[in-house]
Amino acid sequence: MNIRRDDNVLVIAGRERGKTGKVRQVLPSESRVIVEGVNIVKRHMKPRSTTARQAGIIEKEAPLHISNVALLCPKCSRPTRVGHRILADGTKVRVCKRCDEQMS
């Protein structure tokens, strides 16, 4: 997976198309990501004695499929595909395919 936690992404498909946000969590086994402020759903929660969660209607972010988001390059601020490069010291880094700049 080319997208990691704390990356900025753009939603490119679905009802949330055009929105941007920071990746809060990556679920690699399901090929999904949770993006801050995107794909908000409402869940009706029952009160539980074991947890301190508030009962009622809770709004939370639902996962998006990884194919529906594109990584935003921190240098050129445009959605991009991700390449990989091995540096002289042997570390593997991600590279923006548009501007050929190294991403963290």
Residue 73 and residue 104 in contact, taking contact as beta carbons nearer than 8 Å:
no
Q: Based on the fold, state whether residues 39 and 90 are members of the same structural domain.
A: no
In which domain, by residue range, is 99 found? 76-104
Residue 24, judged by CB atoms within 10 A of its CB (0-12, 13-18, 19+), counts as middle
Q: Which residues have a Cβ under 8 Å from the Cβ of 31 and sit 6 or more positions away?
A: 1, 65, 66, 67
What would the pLDDT profile of 94-104 be if each residue is shown by its tens digit? 999 999 999 87
Looking at residue 46, what is its pLDDT? 87
Write down the pLDDT at residue 73. Answer: 94
Residues 65 and 82 in one domain: no
Which residues does the chain have with pLDDT short of 50?
A: none
CATH of residue 52's domain is: 2.30.30.30
Shared domain check, 65 and 28: yes
Structure confidence at residue 52 (pLDDT): 67
Domain count, the chain: 2
Q: Are residues 62 and 100 in the same domain?
A: no
**pLDDT number for residue 51:** 65
pTM of the model: 0.85
